[in-house]
Amino acid sequence: MASLWVLCGWLFLDGLTIGVATTPLLLLAGRSFPPLEVALAGGLASAAGSAIQMWALRAMLAAGRPWMRRFLPTRDALDATLRAHPSTSFVAIFIARATPLPDAPVKLVAAVAGYPLGLYFLAVLLGAIPYYGALAWLGHRFRLPLWSIGALATVLVLAFVADRFRRGRNLAATG
């Protein structure tokens, strides 16, 4: 990894988009930088990207423009998410970011509920710091070979694509 700034740029973009590269990036960064630096700088960058994504998601939900519908979850999906996660709170957002579990359901609920962006940023940041630190420490301690980090990245991307494909098929079957 060339510099901590490059890592932060990638983590910002990953937080702004689908977030599948975070784990491999942190494992790789742990080989080059102290885990605490990775956790703090990476957490800030990722939380900033995630907060901007939340702002954009809220704007798209509020606009209701026809061309945006293809990028948004259906009303049924939002209602199901609200039923599954009735209370979005600081702790729920914190836990979603502090674990490897997908945080999209919590993010959708927070967007629909109009959760304050500043609190969302803070919850994501505070959740990211220990998680990112642990991954950077693993990368630092075990110096995983680049091929294994690349394989992990490939598996994560394939899992994301498979999940999207499965959801698309389920929506087509029910719709």
Q: What is the pLDDT of residue 29?
A: 93
111 domain residue, yes or no: yes
Domain coverage including residue 134: 4-144
Q: What is the pLDDT of residue 149?
A: 74
124 domain residue, yes or no: yes
Q: How many residues does the chain have?
A: 175
43 domain residue, yes or no: yes
**Angstrom distances, CA of residue 124 to CA of 21, 45, 73, 80, 112:** 17, 11, 22, 23, 17
List per-block mean pLDDT (blocks of 10 residues) for the chain, which spans 175 residues.
89 89 90 95 97 91 69 66 70 90 81 88 96 94 80 75 70 56
Closest CA to 51 of 110, 100, 112: 110
* Number of domains composing the chain: 1
Q: What is the pLDDT of residue 98?
A: 92
Q: What is the pLDDT of residue 159?
A: 76
173 domain residue, yes or no: no
Contact 112, 145 (CB under 8 A): no
166 domain residue, yes or no: no
Q: What is the pLDDT of residue 127?
A: 96
Q: What is the pLDDT of residue 51?
A: 96
101 domain residue, yes or no: yes
175 domain residue, yes or no: no
167 domain residue, yes or no: no
pTM of model > 0.85: no
Assign 167 to helix, strand or coil.
helix
Q: What is the pLDDT of residue 113?
A: 80
